[in-house]
Structure 1
Amino acid sequence: MPLMGNSTVSVVIPAHNAGRTIAETLESVGAQTHADLEILVVDDGSTDETAQIVLAHAATDRRIRLLSQPNAGVAAARNAGIAASGGAFLAPLDADDLWHPAKIERQLRVFREGGEKLGLVYSWFALIDRHSRVVQLRHRPRHEGDVLAALAFHNFIGNGSSALIRREAFDRAGGYDPTLRARGGQGCEDWKLYFEIAERYHFGVVAEPLTGYRDLPENMSSDVLQMLRSRDLCTADLSPRHPELERAFRSGRNRLSRLLFHRAIRSGRIHEVAGLALSIMRYDPVFFAMLAGALPVSAAKGLIGRLWRSGGYQGQSGIEFARLNSP
């Protein structure tokens, strides 16, 4: 598709059986103060009413288009939507997440101030529940400029809906990797793309929680063993190009396994706790030693909880995301 104006933002929403959330997601996009948008929803083989809901919204907002494909996974769906788009900037958005009305406007402002060296501008986010209430705000790092080493350690952006990406940067990075799904490691496509953009461009940040990230038990990111497999596959692809970052990759892997271990304990998924314990024993023996000796579950919860909370804080629980910030 021919490129549109320099201020046009292509919003790309992959949607698989998103009938419960897609309407609210589209409403948050439609409320953006930056109105020069094209909004592409890629129905990735849904069997529910997703397509009908999108078409109903498209009837009242001509910026919305529906694309349909057999189920191929989130990376393939995003790539298909981006290939059909024409904006100078790309704004991926998951079909159950929300945006603050000024998100795109504030990110474009950072792009204008940063110039051509900026390839991606991200915002902070708030975790929200199925009722769009804020359940957690966390201190986020403020990584800007050359962020490659920071990304080798962990995905500090934290989700697939907070980034605004220059199209040229996306194209040079090669897009989202659809092979992760076939290799049994879907989940870290965002992190891999961000890293490959950071190899070529600087990053900017809007240090406000302008994305509502819905982290529900049925979400892909809740499959802790798959997320760890995905991280390992991406690291195997990326790390040979950067031997100088070997320690950051290794430390980041240990960090993720600890966080996922905490998540599995809190949710009572004992089979995943066992699998993660084996992984931790191999890659992070110091941490494993802390847990050795058959700690009671209550003690393990307390220990891991303290480690988890050391990176953030609980705050403003119960507030609707739409009321978190004023435009």
Structure 2
Amino acid sequence: MPPGDGAEPSDAAGPRPRIAVVVPAYNVERFVAATLHSVIDQTVTDWECIVVDDGSTDGTAAAAAEVIRQEPRMRLVRQPNRGLSGARNAGLRELSPSVEYVAFLDSDDTWCPTALADLVGALQCCPEAVGAWGWAELMDERGEPLLPGFHPERQRDRRGLSGWRLRTVAPDEPLSFGEVVVAGPIWPPAVGLHRRSAVAAVGSFDESLQQLEDWDFYTRMTRHGRYVPVLGQVAWYRQHPGQMTRRTVEFVCNLDRVRRKTWASPDNSPSQRTASLRAWRQLQFRRSLRTGERLARAVAGRRWAEVTPLALGTAVLAGQLVAGRPPRTTPRQVRWTQRTV
């Protein structure tokens, strides 16, 4: 049948991709080749990989292009710097029509060879799930294992809501909205695989967030269904000084922004709105208590330079708790956060 008459594309170009891997890359010249080779080494082969160079100023694009030249399932997209969310969104716009599952692999992390096979298998066994996730072990800048078992233990230490209280969640329980609004175990993003239909339903990553954009994404995803766990390692999570999560003040401010956004969203069901408020109150109380304990220690130790900002922080946190809802993040809040974190 000639082209244009409804013929299927030729298999000569390779199988249609069922899985899309989006790799946002910014100034990771040292690491991106290892990341891409971990995709090539997957035991499943029906994937495509979109590498988005987000305005890198080093040799990231050249290092990625060197790998991509040898691999027709990969392609490189270049754009001015728009941040991690903007890079992921650019990758999402490039997905082939045949893609059923989407993965986000940061360009300094790597996969175990069976990662995609394990995650796809879990999703196929649970058709109602919106995604699946597994565990990650830490590695250092050279790719050597770091603190074996530490990160999976943190992922297994799960808490969810039970009424107004927090409950322990077993590692083999699916991940629901009532757990994600407390704290989710899907990190780094390399450990997750997401059903494309659910990704399309929740829309793009929030480009106004400089951190925790993935947590915001998972919260929106779990409004539509649950994630199923894979009880084993699927990824390596690289630790190095340039990581965004090391910016503590920005992290705390974005944490507050996401909690406010989650609570205020019109997409919540009544029970989801209640759950997001209960989770915030539980965690705000603990945060206020910790700041108050630091204030008491500063007073006892006569560290007067610390007393004023900690007293202000304790008062602000307690006032927010009394107000009964997640606060808006304002310039004033950012200033006191800088002095108390």
The reply to whether TM is greater than 0.5 is yes
Q: Deviations over 1:119-175 (max 9, x none)?
A: 110111112110112213231222643511111111221222211001111111122
CA distance in 1, matches of 2:173, 2:198: 16
Q: Which residue of 1 aligns with 2:332?
A: none
Tell me the C-alpha RMSD between the 2 structures: 2.4
Q: Is 1:174 the equivalent of 2:200?
A: no
CA distance in 2, matches of 1:171, 1:206: 23
Q: Is 1:210 the equivalent of 2:250?
A: no
Residues 41 and 67, structure 1, Cα contact 8 Å, conserved in 2:
yes
CA distance in 2, matches of 1:230, 1:175: 17
- Give the one of 117, 121, 128 matched to 2:139: 128
| Residue type of the alignment partner of 2:186 | I
Larger RCO of the pair (alpha carbons < 8 Å, separation 6+):
1
Residue ranges of structure 2 left out of the alignment (5+ in a row): 1-13, 157-170, 304-341
Q: Which residue of 2 aligns with 1:105?
A: 117
Percent of aligned pairs with the same residue? 28
Q: Deviations over 1:4-52 (max 9, x none)?
A: 9887110000001110100110111110001111011000001111111
Q: Which residue of 2 aligns with 1:96?
A: 108
Change (3 A) 1:253 1:191: farther
- Give the one of 76, 92, 96 matched to 1:82: 92
Q: Is 1:197 the equivalent of 2:228?
A: no
Q: Is 1:288 the equivalent of 2:317?
A: no
Q: Which residue of 2 aligns with 1:234?
A: 258
Q: Which residue of 1 aligns with 2:58?
A: 48
Shift of 1:218: 1.6
Change (3 A) 1:295 1:165: farther
Residues 22 and 104, structure 2, Cα contact 8 Å, conserved in 1:
yes
Residue ranges of structure 1 left out of the alignment (5+ in a row): 181-185, 256-279, 298-327
Residues 215 and 222, structure 1, Cα contact 8 Å, conserved in 2:
no
Change (3 A) 1:202 1:295: farther
CA distance in 2, matches of 1:227, 1:113: 36
When the two structures are aligned, how many residues end up with a matched partner? 263
TM-score (norm 2): 0.72
Residues 216 and 222, structure 1, Cα contact 8 Å, conserved in 2:
no
Residues 259 and 276, structure 2, Cα contact 8 Å, conserved in 1:
no
Q: Which residue of 1 aligns with 2:39?
A: 29
TM-score (norm 1): 0.75
| Residue type of the alignment partner of 1:288 | R
Shift of 1:250: 3.7
| Residue type of the alignment partner of 1:244 | A
Change (3 A) 1:192 1:287: farther
Change (3 A) 1:176 1:130: same
Residues 144 and 202, structure 1, Cα contact 8 Å, conserved in 2:
no
Q: Is 1:165 the equivalent of 2:194?
A: yes
CA distance in 1, matches of 2:59, 2:212: 27
